[in-house]
Structure 1
Amino acid sequence: MMLRVRVSLPDRPGVLGQVARAFGVLGADILQVTVLEREGGRAVDDFTLSWQGGAGADELRERLAVVPGVRIEGVWPTRESPGVSPDYDLLGHVASDAARAFVTLVDAAPDLVGGEWAVAVDSRTGAVVHGSWQAPGVAGLPELTPLRPSAFSEGPLHLVSLPVHGAGLHLVVARAQGPAFHQVELDKIVRVVEIVSLLAASDADRTVA
């Protein structure tokens, strides 16, 4: 079982080592650590864990409570494999078949930011143009009218929504498990979408020529 665990901890020497030892006591292997922020004497890190036995968020919080100042912000399953670069893979697929750029983007977007599903929505009509295989039906989607990239929550759903310039679309990525999307995750998906849009436009220009 692979999990992502988001941990807020004091940003001082030795604390990260204490957290790592606490995971080790539980029998979890740390496969990757991603620093999301360091500010005001605290850090927020995402740990990717391999955990054969597994444990619930409550047990994790209890075990990590022995480290002063540490708190768990979220625990959720992940398909992300350390050492794999889903953003590079996505851009490679788009570069090789730019005609399907936005379909490929929607299918790959959840894995870019630890999401569960994604959809592309027509900016004018609000109709779903394409959804990843995990996406719910149209009736299951919340009302979305974002004008700029944003991360927010609708009930139990955490969402990232951003316009796809030049395509008349909005991309929406969601997860119901784990914490709200961090600004770092929003910035990452925004940059990837910008590059995908440029690759798609470049292909269209060549076709017209």
Structure 2
Amino acid sequence: MAHEGTIVPIAEGRATPVGRTALWWCLGLGVGMVAGELVSLLTLGVMGLPDAAQASPLVAATLALWPWGLAVAAGALLLAGMRPAARLEIDRRTAAHIRRTGAPAIAKVMRASDPTPGPRAGLDATLLIRTSTGRMFSTDVHWTLDPVDAGSVRKRSVLPVRLDPSAPRRAVLDTQADSRAFAPGVDLDTAFSARRRLRQMVQRTRWSSRIALLVGGLAGLLLVTV
């Protein structure tokens, strides 16, 4: 059992590694072929694949566009695999327990629904969590809050949260935190920057996926240019 306030790391890679690696290879292949087509167009004035196939205009257009489609489809599937599997509904009793025992963190609201009217305002929110160690991950939650607290959950707002130590994606709004200094030492303007998120994604990518991306990219480039 985890100690109070200590986060157990989120399990990674429960999706089949072979399938994920194949998607990275497809992404690399698509990007490599697109790069090869652009190089061929800039240096020779022709699109590599259609010229090599001596195709009709319709087939040539299809050949020119399918590497883009391959890259976009593979990238979209990889991003979809990084999304939380389900929205977590946290009742008020559980939320009160997590506020007492959970680990402090901050969250940027990526999306939020309008609160339901009444003394118990329910809302759905997609959060980007940043822990005290700098780790970031997404979670989808359903909260039941007082109307005043619910009004603070707006898109792009940064909020103090508490995380369930045994299941960090179970995040609750920390209504007891000091709103003036809930993230000491953290620059809220850059804490969730795209650069930080991209760097973390690269760091967390398996070596097998990195190799698949590189090999796919080289294969796509050679397929078009050689």
Return the index of the structure with the highest Cα Rg.
2
TM-score range, shorter chain: under 0.3
Q: Which has the higher contact order (CA 8 A, sep 6+)?
A: 2
Question: How high is the TM-score relative to the length of structure 1?
Answer: 0.28
